[in-house]
Amino acid sequence: MAAGARLSANDEVNETLHRAIEANPQGRSAEVVGPLRRATMIEPENPVTHLIYGQALMPLGRHEEALEAFGRAAVLRPETPQVHEFRAMALFNLGRFEDSLRPLGRLLEIDPEYPRAQYHMGLALAKLGRHAEAIAAYDRAEEHARAARGRPAAPGPEHPTDGEIAFERSASEVALGRVGGAGRGPPRRSLPPRWSPP
């Protein structure tokens, strides 16, 4: 999103949305939740207010409220892939792995090559113990990421890294007994898988 892009016709809401976009990656979501809630009341028909409000709630662990905000954004703008990605993220964080597959499926209907969709589909399937399906999703994620290499970077979500995909695939392979050798298992990593904002 271009800096200074107009997100609302209302000056107060527009300013609040831009402050929130800046605050979220800096870990300052708590500062903007109140003003964002007010923005959703001022402009209840603006899907961007609900989407950004939900994004601010997620790092605070307020996943039920975020799910509600993302649901409202999905009703207002169902053709936007990000609303489905974030709905899936909220459901995943609530431990509702099966439910998270529905918005991911909708996301893939809208944009079959959405950068992180297959990867997150694999995460949810692995949590459900459906490791063969998870591995297939990781393979598709890797294929999409490989195809995107060399193309100019477009604004929006990034593809998962090779390391992220390899780690999750190896965990599912271990669960299926496909990886042999004493003491072998998935490689260590320093951070858990993360959902990236649009």
Where is the domain boundary, 95, 120, 152?
95
Put simply, whether the predicted model's pTM sits higher than 0.75 gets the answer: yes
Residues 15 and 89 grouped into a single domain: yes
pLDDT at residue number 75: 97
- Based on the fold, state whether residues 117 and 149 are members of the same structural domain: yes
Quick one: 124 and 172 in the same domain?
A: yes
Q: Is residue 185 part of a domain?
A: no
Quickly tell me which residue has 């858990």 as its tokens: 192
Residue 39 tokens, joined: 């923005």
C-alpha to C-alpha distance for 21 and 32, rounded to whole angstroms? 9
For residues 71 and 123, state if they share a domain.
no
User: Could you give the CA distance from residue 36 to residue 22 in angstroms, rounded to a whole number?
Assistant: 13
CATH code, 38: 1.25.40.10
Q: Are residues 69 and 116 in the same domain?
A: no
The number of folded domains in the chain is 2
54 Cβ neighbours under 8 A, 6+ residues apart = 65, 66, 67, 68, 69, 70, 73, 86, 90
**31 is written with which tokens?**
């500062």
- Are 48 and 76 within one domain? yes
Do 135 and 65 fall within a single domain? no
Report yes or no on 186 lying in a domain: no
Within-domain flag for 195: no
Structural domain contains residue 193 = no
| 138 and 81 in a common domain | no
Chunked mean pLDDT (size 10), the chain, 198 residues: 76 92 87 95 96 95 97 96 95 97 96 88 96 94 80 64 85 80 37 40
Instruction: Note whether 14 and 80 are same-domain residues.
Output: yes
Pairwise CA distance, residues 57 & 65, whole Å:
7
Look at residue 5 and tell me if it is in a domain: no
Residue 120 and residue 47 share a domain: no
Claim to verify: residue 85 and residue 36 sit in the same structural domain:
yes
pLDDT of amino acid 66? 97
In a domain, 81, yes or no: yes
Same domain, 136 and 63: no
C-alpha 18/C-alpha 15 separation (Å) is 5
Range of the domain at 14: 10-95
Is residue 45 assigned to a domain? Answer: yes
Has residue 197 been placed in a domain? no
